[in-house]
Amino acid sequence: MQVIDTILAMREWTAQHSDKPVAAVYTMGALHDGHLELVRQARHHVSANTGAHPYIIASIFVNPTQFTNADDLAKYPRTLEHDLEMLGSVGVDAVFVPSVEQMYPTGHANTVTVEPGPLGNEFEGVGRPGHFRGVLTVVNKLLNITAPNYAMFGEKDFQQLTLIKAMVAELNMPIEIVGVPTVRDSDGLAMSSRNRRLSESSRVLAARIPEALIAVKESVVRGNPIDEALNAATEQLAETPEISVDYLVVTDESMHDVLANGRGRVLIAANVEGVRLIDNMAIEIKGA
Ligand code: PAF
């Protein structure tokens, strides 16, 4: 596995590896099995679609422009050696680990940015203004630098995935964005780098978050109205004072509208003793 820290060397590597499709997995490090699943699914997806075994590029870059709180950025876990070992263990071919200066040579407060549109100000964007602008800007840069045919993103960050798909479609970028289902621990909690911030007791309580999503799904499948299902799950969560729900909603797949019919998502953001967690699941309303 080659570790590359300049844009020039990354471009050279991609140019020298044009004989097979390239799939990319972008990360901010602090890797867990959810990230490794993106790599496994990259191989599976490309092989199934093209019959070719792809080259896989990963990146590790803690992107300053998507943090809206300087303290969060400073405290973000940096575990490079361990991350590289993990990526090596799943057969990644090259890892791009640029410095902030490489990525933002004019300073990151003074750069061209990608505007996400109205969805960027909803849900996760409400409390973190500018977060999705930072995400789209860095993903756009990474796609331009690494020039993959495919790029994999976890469904756990569903709003991020939705906005990246929209950016690629609307800016006519010739890349397939592939969403990968969330990897969960045995108690159902979605894997996330943030889980390491949970105390032992909060970790146990956090499992009530996916339980709430399942409750909404099951209630809707039984034919209950969405509002009723959401209210019941919200009331259930309110019985745990350590959990404060920021939002629990059902939207269509584009996240622009409430779900009336067909496939959509039930999404939640909640704080568990000060640690903000997000999760979502697919939901389907049949008939009408
Ligand atoms: O999901 C993440 O880890 C980050 O938002 C991403 C996509 C790597 C951009 O910095």
Query: Interior CA angle at 197 toward 194 and 201, to 5°?
Result: 120
pLDDT tens readout for residues 185-200: 999 999 999 999 999 9
Cα gap 49→190, rounded to integer Å: 28
In a domain? residue 223: yes
Select from 180, 211, 233 the last residue of a domain: 180
Both 127 and 66 in one domain: the answer is: yes
Both 142 and 203 in one domain: the answer is: no
Q: What is the pLDDT of residue 287?
A: 62
Both 103 and 168 in one domain: the answer is: yes
Domain extent, residue 84, equals 2-180
Taking CA atoms only, the protein residue closest to ligand 1 atom 3 is 27
Cα gap 182→193, rounded to integer Å: 13
Pull the structure tokens for residue 59: 């990146």
Both 40 and 19 in one domain: the answer is: yes
CATH number of the domain within which 205 lies: 3.30.1300.10
Rounded distance from Cα 129 to ligand 1 centre (Å): 16
**Number of Cα atoms under 13 Å in the Cβ half of residue 13:** 23
Both 107 and 213 in one domain: the answer is: no
In a domain? residue 285: no
Ligand 1 pocket check for 63: Cβ under 6 Å = yes
Select from 159, 180, 201 the last residue of a domain: 180
**Hey, which residues does 55 pair with through a beta bridge?**
22
Q: Give the number of the atom of ligand 1 that is nearest the alpha carbon of residue 193.
A: 3
Both 99 and 224 in one domain: the answer is: no
In a domain? residue 60: yes
Cα gap 235→217, rounded to integer Å: 15
Collapsed DSSP state (helix, strand, coil) of residue 17: coil
In a domain? residue 288: no
In a domain? residue 185: no
In a domain? residue 15: yes
pTM of the model: 0.97
CB 100 within 8 A of CB 108: yes
Select from 124, 146, 180 the last residue of a domain: 180
In a domain? residue 164: yes
Q: Give the number of the atom of ligand 1 that is nearest the alpha carbon of residue 63.
A: 10
Q: Which residue is catalytic, options 17, 35, 44, 131?
A: 35
pLDDT tens readout for residues 108-147: 888 999 999 999 999 999 999 999 999 999 999 999 999 9
Rg (CA), the chain: 19
pLDDT tens readout for residues 240-276: 999 999 999 999 999 988 787 789 999 999 999 999 9
Active site residue 35: yes
Query: Ramachandran region of residue 33, left (φ > 0), alpha (ψ -120 to 50) or beta?
Result: alpha
Ligand 1 pocket check for 26: Cβ under 6 Å = yes
Both 50 and 167 in one domain: the answer is: yes
CB 58 within 8 A of CB 26: yes
The candidate with the shortest Cα–Cα distance to 57, out of 45, 76, 43, 74, is 43
CATH number of the domain within which 139 lies: 3.40.50.620
Taking CA atoms only, the protein residue closest to ligand 1 atom 8 is 27
Cα gap 208→216, rounded to integer Å: 12
Both 42 and 167 in one domain: the answer is: yes
Both 12 and 99 in one domain: the answer is: yes
Helix (H) or strand (E) holding 23: strand 22-27
Cα gap 177→168, rounded to integer Å: 8
Q: Give the number of the atom of ligand 1 that is nearest the alpha carbon of residue 139.
A: 9
Rounded distance from Cα 19 to ligand 1 centre (Å): 28
Both 144 and 175 in one domain: the answer is: yes
In a domain? residue 227: yes
Both 71 and 211 in one domain: the answer is: no
Both 168 and 210 in one domain: the answer is: no
Tally of domains in the chain: 2
Helix (H) or strand (E) holding 143: helix 131-146
Taking CA atoms only, the protein residue closest to ligand 1 atom 2 is 27
**Number of Cα atoms under 13 Å in the Cβ half of residue 69:** 6
pLDDT tens readout for residues 54-94: 999 999 999 999 999 999 899 899 999 999 999 999 999 99
pLDDT tens readout for residues 142-160: 999 999 999 999 999 999 9
